[in-house]
Amino acid sequence: MIKTRHILILLTLSLLLIACSDDKVDALMKKIVVAPPAYIERDIKGHEQIYSWQVILRLARRMGTTELSGGSTVELYKAYDLSHRETPIPVYQDITFRKDENGNITISSDRKAFEVVRSDRFCYAMEIRYFDANGILINHQFAQYDPNDPDNSTLCVHQHFFTIRQNSLDGGQLVYPMTLDSLYYDRFLFEGESLSHASLISAGGVYTPEDYTVGSGMLRYDRMLAEMAVENTMTSRATQPLTHDGHRYVLAETIQTPDLNQRVPELFSYEYRDTDPIEEQLGEPLEESDDLGRNRAGGVVVPLRQKREYASPGVDQDRLGFKGLIRFGMGNVCFQMRVSICHIQDRVQVPAGLVLGKYANTAAPGGLYDHYELQSSWNTFDIDYPVPFIVLGDVANREQCRASILRYYADRGRKVDESALEEMLWGDDSYFTGIPGITF
């Protein structure tokens, strides 16, 4: 019965398309073949509206393990802070974002993108600080927990997800991961190993030469072509060849978001490192009550656990995403990291019973989803924005990494001290002596 209904719908749609002019077809398709848009909450509960925020990125190194109060053992990292001396590549970076009354997001800091490297020795500690209209830090408002009302406890219904975005704040379209020389990585652009031409109902497309071979890695980003691709997708022009600068192009289907999300770990991983209290530094001594009014004097800041449990190490950790460790999977890549706070409002039936959607992943400890496992049915967000990353090189490939870093900064009018670069990335840890840091 369901199959028959789908066939009837397609036949009806086909007849409508035959009877319509191109303009009417375009208007019809835009109305029919559109996924529900992501909804940014304005009527919020449990926390203030976000007006500005700061994303801080620190180069980090593993220090070892330690035992905190309550018997929990955790790995500690040293995340480097602002230094009085210039380093070949940044050890501390931050980008500040602001949102106007219409919800438009802009970058207000001098830095517009994070410059990083892929390394087995280093990772990056990312911290996000959100502020209300008065400039007051409100991260703790997302970590509230009431055992008598978990459905309305902000901790139980919020989580940051970190994936890939295809547009940038400066209006760039189809900015899928690409090399520093603006060549797309086909792995993050197309679904399969061969080109699939776009149809009227293709949700996304990119213009390629007619004879383009997927896997060649030779498709260069062109902003004008990208804008035309977005404009022509799901219109009658989607199936028509395009001539641009004397060359002939066809619109090819791009990978869909759920499939792209599954490939995120190839580009980067994110390890949730939230703390309790949420705004404090891991391992720091506590001298008073926490944000829930619990007397914790004499204790220390511990990893964030479910139900805000801080004394029992056996409780699964929780995930919010205000603090985390990023490890990159490849060098020579520019991409827009999608950062979003999802408000997960559903309940899901699992073998153990009905649970809040955030904790419904039966394949994982604690029922939590990983940073790239944003579910298609979740489309309500407190904030959703892209953060630009430039992975300058892979430290494991010494010569290429060095050449890429030197060329990148030379193109921007800065000469890198090559001996300092060598000592920093391939020397011993003595280079970092004297550079301040925090425990992460």
Domain edges within the chain? 1-32, 52-167+271-439, 190-254
Q: What six digits make up the tokens of 63?
A: 């220090």
Q: Average pLDDT, stretch 22-30? A: 52
Distance of alpha carbon 157 from alpha carbon 306, whole angstroms = 12
Contacts of 418 (CB under 8 A, 6+ apart): 402, 406
Residue 238 and residue 205 in contact, taking contact as beta carbons nearer than 8 Å: yes
pLDDT confidence tier of residue 365, bands split at 50, 70 and 90: confident
Q: What is the pLDDT of residues 208-225, one digit of tens each?
A: 999 999 999 999 999 999
3-state secondary structure of 311: coil
CB atoms within 10 A of CB 186: 20
Output the CA–CA distances (angstroms, integers) from residue 135 to 24, 157, 210, 339, in the order listed: 49, 24, 52, 21
pLDDT confidence tier of residue 5, bands split at 50, 70 and 90: very low
3-state secondary structure of 36: coil
**H or E element: which one contains 66?**
strand 52-67
Residue-level pLDDT at 9: 45
User: What is the DSSP-derived secondary structure letter of residue 357?
Assistant: G
Q: Tokens 């964030």 sit at which residue?
A: 304
Half-sphere exposure of 183 (CA within 13 A, CB side): 8
pLDDT confidence tier of residue 20, bands split at 50, 70 and 90: low
Percent of the chain at pLDDT > 70 equals 89
Q: Tell me: pLDDT of 32 over 50.
A: no
Q: Average pLDDT, stretch 22-42? A: 51
Residue 403 and residue 397 in contact, taking contact as beta carbons nearer than 8 Å: no
Residue 196 and residue 377 in contact, taking contact as beta carbons nearer than 8 Å: no
Q: What six digits make up the tokens of 150?
A: 């978990």
pLDDT confidence tier of residue 46, bands split at 50, 70 and 90: low
Residue-level pLDDT at 22: 56
Q: Tell me: pLDDT of 16 over 60.
A: no
Q: Average pLDDT, stretch 329-340? A: 98
Percent of the chain at pLDDT > 90 equals 80
Half-sphere exposure of 112 (CA within 13 A, CB side): 5
Exposure b/e, 237-255, CB count within 10 A at least 16 = b: bbeeeeeeeeeebbbbbbb
Q: Tell me: pLDDT of 180 over 80.
A: yes
CB atoms within 10 A of CB 401: 22
Burial of 100 (0-12, 13-18, 19+ CB in 10 A): exposed
Output the CA–CA distances (angstroms, integers) from residue 363 to 63, 138, 368, in the order listed: 31, 32, 9
For residues 426 and 350, which has the higher predicted lDDT (pLDDT)? 426
Residue-level pLDDT at 83: 86
Q: Tell me: pLDDT of 389 over 90.
A: yes
Output the CA–CA distances (angstroms, integers) from residue 331 to 47, 327, 334, 402, 405, in the order listed: 38, 11, 9, 12, 11
Q: Average pLDDT, stretch 289-304? A: 93
How far from each other are the two terminal CA atoms of the chain, in whole angstroms? 56
Residue-level pLDDT at 189: 98
Q: What is the pLDDT of residues 401-439, one digit of tens each?
A: 999 999 999 999 999 999 999 999 999 989 999 999 999
Q: What six digits make up the tokens of 409?
A: 């900064």
Strands 39-40 and 380-394: parallel
Distance of alpha carbon 225 from alpha carbon 388, whole angstroms = 21
Residue 157 and residue 150 in contact, taking contact as beta carbons nearer than 8 Å: no
285 closest CA partner among 299, 274, 296:
299
Residue-level pLDDT at 10: 46
Residue 387 and residue 95 in contact, taking contact as beta carbons nearer than 8 Å: yes
Distance of alpha carbon 215 from alpha carbon 293, whole angstroms = 57
Q: Tokens 């511990």 sit at which residue?
A: 302
Q: Vertex 229, ends 248 and 218: CA angle to 5°?
A: 60
Burial of 341 (0-12, 13-18, 19+ CB in 10 A): buried
Distance of alpha carbon 350 from alpha carbon 365, whole angstroms = 14
The mean pLDDT value of the chain amounts to 90
For residue 323, the cross-strand partners are: 127
Q: Tell me: pLDDT of 29 over 50.
A: no
Residue-level pLDDT at 42: 55
For residues 192 and 10, which has the higher predicted lDDT (pLDDT)? 192
Residue-level pLDDT at 305: 95
3-state secondary structure of 217: coil
pLDDT confidence tier of residue 34, bands split at 50, 70 and 90: very low
